[in-house]
């Protein structure tokens, strides 16, 4: 089969880790007789340097013409002084908005081999955990009206949070469907005791739950959810929440697995088209040193195979190879005192595919 993949290497360690994921994609191409046509384009800081624009129009068009997107990471101190409308991070918001990537899927798995790297006491993670956070990605305070106003010589900034019933229903239905394919357990996280936006969220989720009677459904306030993630992460299977809360909780969930460098993510639209990226940032402090962990990006490529390209066998091959490498004790610098390089980690993963 033939697929078109738009590749955005990005900034910092982005090019290094994306190059490793491409090696894995090429291995899958060879083993399973597929053709992956890669189109390289710019977004983020590198795009600002080359074109003056964080998200060039040709990048958006290349992505539209592809079957999926593989993204490294964007941003870094070099571009901190850029105006708010043209910062590297705006490339991500622009791609999500332009391509309607409303559903962010972030798995958080406690690998047995990495249990020692988990910062939580062992008695709290006994048996491990395997959860997915489904985060709404194109609404909430990130996309609401924002600005500044002056009064009496005092500057006030404002960012308006809002959700429509349709937006909540769309992400809620995706979460319920995912729960049906897993352990049929869903927790919706909001702040309905304080925020009117969250009350609309909760009311909409309650209407939806009647359509999925097999799913064990619960509500949880975001502050309690943050506490429960570090107290008893094994209680969760699928979590669904809004953009702001999901941003924070998914990063927290990633760290309790042992390293933020381990976890992939997918951002999907209604048709299954998606953008795949590691959840970590561009880490400019280690860029070029050959020590970045490529696993999150490689697992993002596996998610791409599964969700957008409908290649579950190929996705399994990648994920199983990563598990075998970890089980045999190989580590990168973020997860072990004795470690191998970025490319060496990929070498070992390739050997098991």
Spot the catalytic one: 223, 285, 316, 327: 223
**Which pLDDT belongs to residue 334?**
86
Look-up: residue for tokens 């997107």?
69
Contacts of 45 (CB under 8 A, 6+ apart): 10, 11, 54, 74, 75, 76, 78, 79, 88, 282
Closest CA to 188 of 124, 135, 230, 264: 135
**Which pLDDT belongs to residue 126?**
67
Is residue 219 flagged as an active site residue?
no
pLDDT digits (tens, 9 = 90+) for 4-32: 999 999 999 999 999 999 999 999 999 99
Spot the catalytic one: 247, 276, 307, 334: 247
**Which pLDDT belongs to residue 110?**
80
Q: Domains along the chain?
A: 1-104+262-353 (3.40.718.10), 119-256 (3.40.718.10)
Is residue 100 flagged as an active site residue?
no
Is residue 32 flagged as an active site residue?
no
Is residue 142 flagged as an active site residue?
yes
Per-residue pLDDT tens listing for the chain (353 residues): 999 999 999 999 999 999 999 999 999 999 999 999 999 999 999 999 999 999 999 999 999 999 999 999 999 999 988 887 899 999 998 999 999 999 999 998 887 777 676 667 676 666 668 899 999 999 999 889 999 999 999 999 999 999 999 999 999 999 999 999 999 999 999 999 999 999 999 999 999 999 999 999 999 999 999 999 988 898 999 999 999 999 999 988 887 887 778 889 999 999 999 999 998 889 999 999 999 999 999 999 999 999 999 999 999 999 999 999 999 999 999 888 889 999 999 999 999 99
Please return the burial class of 230, using the count of CB atoms within 10 Å of its CB with bins 0-12, 13-18 and 19+.
Answer: middle
Residue 155 φ then ψ, to 5°: -90, 130
Beta sheet of 185-190, edge-to-edge order? 35-40, 2-10, 68-73, 274-278, 264-268, 103-109, 130-136, 238-241, 185-190, 216-221
Dist. CA 275–CA 353, nearest whole Å: 23
Please return the burial class of 115, using the count of CB atoms within 10 Å of its CB with bins 0-12, 13-18 and 19+.
Answer: middle
* Bridge partners of residue 98, in order along the sequence: none
Which DSSP letter does residue 101 get?
-
Spot the catalytic one: 185, 251, 324, 339: 251
**Which pLDDT belongs to residue 175?**
97
Please return the burial class of 339, using the count of CB atoms within 10 Å of its CB with bins 0-12, 13-18 and 19+.
Answer: middle
Is residue 347 flagged as an active site residue?
no
Dist. CA 256–CA 271, nearest whole Å: 32
Q: pTM of the full predicted structure?
A: 0.88
- On whether the CB atoms of residues 68 and 35 are closer than 8 A, the answer is no
For the CA atoms of 59, 343, 337, 11, the dihedral, rounded to the nearest 10 degrees, stands at -20
pLDDT digits (tens, 9 = 90+) for 41-51: 999 999 999 99
Closest CA to 178 of 272, 264, 111: 272
**Which pLDDT belongs to residue 44?**
96
**Which pLDDT belongs to residue 187?**
98
Please tell me whether residue 125 adopts helix, strand or coil conformation.
coil
Spot the catalytic one: 9, 27, 142, 334: 142
Dist. CA 181–CA 155, nearest whole Å: 49
């Amino acid at each position: 089969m033939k697929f078109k993949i738009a590749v955005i290497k990005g900034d910092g360690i982005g090019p290094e880790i994306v190059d490793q994921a491409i090696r894995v994609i090429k291995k899958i191409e060879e083993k399973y007789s597929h053709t992956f046509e890669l189109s390289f384009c710019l977004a983020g800081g590198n795009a600002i340097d080359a074109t003056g624009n964080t998200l060039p129009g040709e990048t958006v068009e290349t992505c539209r013409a592809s079957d999926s997107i593989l993204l490294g990471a964007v941003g870094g101190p070099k571009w901190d002084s850029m105006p708010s409308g043209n910062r590297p991070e705006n490339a991500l918001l622009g791609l999500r908005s332009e391509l309607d990537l409303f559903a962010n899927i972030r798995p958080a798995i406690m690998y047995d081999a990495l249990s020692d790297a988990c910062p939580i006491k062992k008695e709290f993670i006994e048996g491990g955990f395997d959860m997915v956070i489904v985060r709404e990605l194109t609404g909430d305070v990130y996309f609401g009206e924002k600005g500044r106003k002056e009064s009496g010589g005092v500057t006030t900034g404002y960012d308006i949070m809002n959700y429509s019933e349709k937006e909540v229903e769309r992400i809620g239905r995706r979460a319920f469907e995912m729960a049906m394919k897993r352990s049929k357990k869903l927790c919706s996280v909001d702040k309905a005791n304080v925020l009117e936006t969250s009350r609309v969220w909760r009311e909409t989720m309650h209407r939806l739950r009647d359509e999925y009677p097999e799913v064990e459904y619960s509500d949880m306030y975001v502050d309690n959810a943050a506490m429960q993630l570090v107290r008893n992460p094994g209680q969760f299977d699928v979590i669904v929440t809004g953009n702001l809360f999901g941003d924070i909780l998914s990063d927290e969930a990633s760290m309790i697995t042992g390293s933020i460098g381990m976890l992939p993510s997918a951002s999907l639209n209604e048709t299954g088209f998606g953008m795949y990226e590691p959840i970590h940032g561009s880490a400019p402090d280690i860029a070029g040193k050959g020590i970045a962990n490529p696993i999150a990006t490689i697992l993002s490529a596996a998610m791409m195979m599964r969700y957008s390209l409908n290649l579950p066998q190929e996705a399994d091959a990648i994920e199983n190879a990563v598990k075998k490498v970890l089980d045999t004790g190989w580590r990168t610098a973020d997860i072990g005192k004795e470690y191998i390089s970025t490319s060496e980690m990929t070498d070992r993963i390739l050997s098991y595919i």
